[in-house]
């Protein structure tokens, strides 16, 4: 299992940042591969998009803990994919957003990801960084979604 994590400061109050980030309608606005997120009953989500030129349609869990400003997710099936996003006040009228991903990257996916960035780990970190930069751009009003060269 591989673990990836990245944090970034947003010049906005934590509640505002979390409300935007945890709204499923906003996921396609800041996540590189997501084109649509659909709420399903029982804390479930269906996510559709494209990664590395391949369309995907995935079901999984999605939990929001508003009191802790934390959302958690996981994918069904054999992908062993899960993650969380947490927003904390930084004490200066800004917030720190942290995203953590856990998943196994298979050999074929590792090769595909490495083609664009030189390493699969670099491609995944680029995706994390650009996702958070997109979130910052949208919340601070300085731009929109930042695309990635490759995404998992």
pLDDT in tens, 60-77: 999 999 999 999 999 987
How does DSSP classify residue 2?
Answer: E
For the record, the structure tokens of 6 come out as: 């990245």
The confidence band for 150, taking pLDDT boundaries of 50, 70 and 90, is low
- A 10 A CB-CB count for 124 gives 24
Question: Does pTM top 0.85 for this prediction?
Answer: yes
Query: What is 2-140's CATH topology?
Result: Alpha-D-Glucose-1,6-Bisphosphate; Chain A, domain 4 (3.30.530)
Q: Is the dihedral of CA 109, 87, 48, 51 positive or negative?
A: negative
Residue 23: which pLDDT band, with cuts at 50, 70 and 90?
Answer: very high
Q: What is the structure's pLDDT at 110?
A: 66
Q: Strand ranges (DSSP E) for 11-127?
A: 34-40, 44-51, 54-65, 70-75, 82-89, 95-103
């Amino acid at each position: 299992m591989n673990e990836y994590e990245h944090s970034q400061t947003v010049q906005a109050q934590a509640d505002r940042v979390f409300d935007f980030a945890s709204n499923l309608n906003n996921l396609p606005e800041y996540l590189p591969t997501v084109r649509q997120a659909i709420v399903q009953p029982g804390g479930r989500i269906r996510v559709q998009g494209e990664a590395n030129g391949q369309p995907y349609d995935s079901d999984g869990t999605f939990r929001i803990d508003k009191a802790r400003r934390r959302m958690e997710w996981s994918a069904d099936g054999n992908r062993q994919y899960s993650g969380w996003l947490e927003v904390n006040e930084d004490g200066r009228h800004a917030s720190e957003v942290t995203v953590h991903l856990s998943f196994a990257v298979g050999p074929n996916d590792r090769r595909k990801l490495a083609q664009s960035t030189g390493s699969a780990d670099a491609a995944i970190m680029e995706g994390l960084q650009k996702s958070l930069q997109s979130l910052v751009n949208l919340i601070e009003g300085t731009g929109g979604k930042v695309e990635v060269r490759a995404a998992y």
